[in-house]
Amino acid sequence: MVNPKHKLPASISLDLDNQWSYMKIHGDKGWEKFPSYLDTFIPYVLKVLDGLGLKITFFIVGQDAAIEANHKALREITDAGHEVGNHSFSHESWLHTLSKEKISQEIELTETYIQQATGMKPVGFRGPGFSWSREVIEILTERGYLYDASTLPTWIGPIARLYYFWKSKLSKEEKKERVGLFGSFSDGFRRLKPYNWQLGKEQILEIPVTTMPVFRIPFHLSYLLYLSIYSEILMNLYLGMAISLCKLTRNPISFLLHPLDLIGGDQIPELDFFPGMKLKSDVKVKIFNQVIGKLSRHFELMNMDSFAEYVFKRKVKVKNI
Ligand SMILES: [Zn+2]
């Protein structure tokens, strides 16, 4: 029997989206040269994590790992004892629309380059912009991956998409290409607890990004930070409610971070135009420390790999894909 006093696990992961991918999302010219802030961001975030004694998972984009100038910074991640995961090669959020052959290339290339850059072979995958498909899961299973972490069980995807179109400078064609971006309302009915996908005789673990049980609204760091701009009290109430509901439903947490949640326009002036970048880095870190402090009082914090291992020891539901 599960001891009710025993803390459930919470995995912490960071999608290492680089400067060029934010420029690309926004429709800015110059992204094609792959401008990078990894030299600034990685040493900075490793120091923040070290201060908290946290070991997390970094989902790395293959295109970044393919550029030798980024290798030194990327290597620091594994040298510091963190896990690295696969975040696709070209970070195109419409991964689900590509052919199986193209998806296979995206995953395989990234795996090779991450291993070259960091010395670690990824065992986990997260699709860019929460994009995934049956083909993605099939390829991951064929390649012996331990887990996929691409699903976001929320109904707000279409609203996030409208906001994104409104804020970006995309052409009609580009908008058409991105039509399935961030999922549909029905994603709000997806399972929130980790489960196994069944593919023939094989299984692979699915670790959804946790949204608030019952309400199915996201509470990852970008959302908390956004709330904190209005009121830190409101942010703490919102997070407190998410934590209580997760404890009540015995739902382990997969908590997601992005670089711009932790670093401000004071260090990356090139992305000053992005929402929330007016906040200074030390303000963001202060919020992050508060959030991690609160989470760690109720959950055992760990990287995705250890989280997957924890889940494997228990019985999880099996779903056909
Ligand atoms: Zn990403």
pLDDT score for 260: 96
Q: Alpha-carbon distance 64 to 113, whole Å?
A: 9
> Residue 91 Cα, ligand 1 centroid: separation in angstroms?
6
The alpha carbon of residue 1 and the mean position of all alpha carbons in its chain are separated, in whole angstroms, by 32
> Residue 315 Cα, ligand 1 centroid: separation in angstroms?
30
> Residue 60 Cα, ligand 1 centroid: separation in angstroms?
8
Q: Alpha-carbon distance 82 to 54, whole Å?
A: 9
* Confidence tier at 95 by pLDDT (50, 70, 90): confident
b (16+ CB within 10 A) / e for 269-303:
eebeebebbebebeebbebbebbbebbbeebbbbb
Interhelix angle for 281-298 vs 232-248, to 10°?
A: 30
> Residue 149 Cα, ligand 1 centroid: separation in angstroms?
12
> Residue 68 Cα, ligand 1 centroid: separation in angstroms?
20
> Residue 6 Cα, ligand 1 centroid: separation in angstroms?
33
pLDDT score for 313: 81
> Residue 201 Cα, ligand 1 centroid: separation in angstroms?
31
Residue range 163-184: mean pLDDT, rounded: 69
> Residue 231 Cα, ligand 1 centroid: separation in angstroms?
27
Q: Residue 306 has which token pair?
A: 């250890």
> Residue 50 Cα, ligand 1 centroid: separation in angstroms?
23
pLDDT tens readout for residues 107-126:
999 999 999 999 999 999 99
Work out the mean pLDDT of the chain and round it to a whole number. Answer: 91
pLDDT tens readout for residues 215-227:
999 999 999 999 9
Q: Is the pLDDT of residue 150 over 80?
A: yes
* Confidence tier at 2 by pLDDT (50, 70, 90): very low
| Host H or E run for residue 26 | helix 19-26
> Residue 90 Cα, ligand 1 centroid: separation in angstroms?
10
Give me the DSSP letters along 96-133. GGS-HHHHHHHHHHHHHHHHHHHS----EE--GGG---
Give me the DSSP letters along 40-53. HHHHHHHHHHHHHT
> Residue 128 Cα, ligand 1 centroid: separation in angstroms?
4
Kindly report the backbone phi and psi dihedral angles of residue 313, in degrees, each rounded to the nearest multiple of 5, phi listed first. -70, -20
Quickly tell me which residue has 């908390």 as its tokens. 224
Q: Alpha-carbon distance 113 to 269, whole Å?
A: 28
Q: Is the pLDDT of residue 175 over 50?
A: yes
> Residue 250 Cα, ligand 1 centroid: separation in angstroms?
28
> Residue 2 Cα, ligand 1 centroid: separation in angstroms?
35
pLDDT score for 181: 66
> Residue 126 Cα, ligand 1 centroid: separation in angstroms?
8
Residue range 164-187: mean pLDDT, rounded: 70
pLDDT score for 180: 63
pTM comes to 0.91
Q: Is 203 helix (H, G, I), strand (E, B) or coil?
A: strand
> Residue 5 Cα, ligand 1 centroid: separation in angstroms?
35
Q: Is 184 helix (H, G, I), strand (E, B) or coil?
A: coil
pLDDT tens readout for residues 183-201:
776 777 788 999 999 988 8
